[in-house]
Amino acid sequence: MKRVLVTAGARPNFMKAAPLLRAFASSGRSDLDIRLVHTGQHYDAALSRLLFDDLRMRAPDHTLPAGPGSHAEVTARILMGFEALCVSLRPDAVVVIGDVNATLACALAASKLGVPVAHVEAGLRSHDHSMPEEINRIVTDSLSTWLFATEPSAMENLAREGHLARGRAFLVGNTIVDSLVVALDHLRQGRAATAAPASPYAIATVHRPSNVDSAEVLEGILDGLGDVAREWPVILPLHPRTRARIDGFGLADRLDQPGILASGPLGYLAFLDLVRGAALVATDSGGVQEETTVLGVPCFTLRANTERPITIEVGTNQLVPPTRSGIADAFSRLLAGEGKPGRVPDLWDGHAAERIVARLSEVL
């Protein structure tokens, strides 16, 4: 019996883990013991239950008490907890996903114990080392035995860093798209139908430290969204971190602007239901850039860079400065009919997890 630990700790990573669990279950490999480990990096009991229900995902086999804290504190707690779990379970392989602190911590613990690591979503690079996620990506790839990439630019990055010479990097597609395909089927069956404003409307998400930890930047974004809201209603589900910063900076009045429809976090299906009907999505989330590309919805990424350039090269995404004037300029172009058409990237077909599991089954 070969034991594989699939790790996930942040909301987007569960969307990428769910297809892997399904693919392992349908692989026909009765000699594989697949365990899901919730690293606890982002943990809210109610939101976790909703997310797992939306993804039709089984409960975690193991949960680590990561708790809140600085990057170092969270990483250290997960590192210690996951090391102890690996010593106890003696896995034959560990799967890590994405670029959060839990990704790095689990890869480091496993590699120090000599356990092979598979990195799903390998090779993505923003080339911006001020982003904590960029450090996590680079270090995790250097520790991993198998590297599974979502897009050609990721393979180019891995080649430039010398990883392709090992013959263990594979272009497989995007598991978040696998979950999206399943979710769209659920929505067609009437699950999680959401009350949306009359079209056209926009939806926005903002959570990255570079956007919410500066009062000046956050104010500019909220004012830019307020300008959009003069034309179209703007649905604004607020990450707890963002809500805390808005209150702390004294910007709560920006949520009272006409047309701004602020709320708490939304469930996965409810959010996707709104995104697929939107005329515009403004975000700083990597996964939302990918989802809008597949759905064909115009996307403003409120950042100076993206580690997912294929969403710009062939998708509907464009980089927009996270300022009031940047948002206004981009929105004016969209209203003038200069929206960016796009297509779905190759291999983003809903079968990425199957390709990953097929590769891992060969080596295991």
Q: Give the active site residues.
A: 207
**Residue at token pair 């295991």:** 364
Q: For residue 289, give Cα distances in angstroms to 6, 115, 223, 242, 296.
A: 24, 33, 22, 19, 11
Q: What tokens appear for 68 in the block?
A: 């809140």
Strands across the sheet with 93-97, in order?
A: 62-63, 32-38, 2-8, 93-97, 117-122, 146-149, 169-171
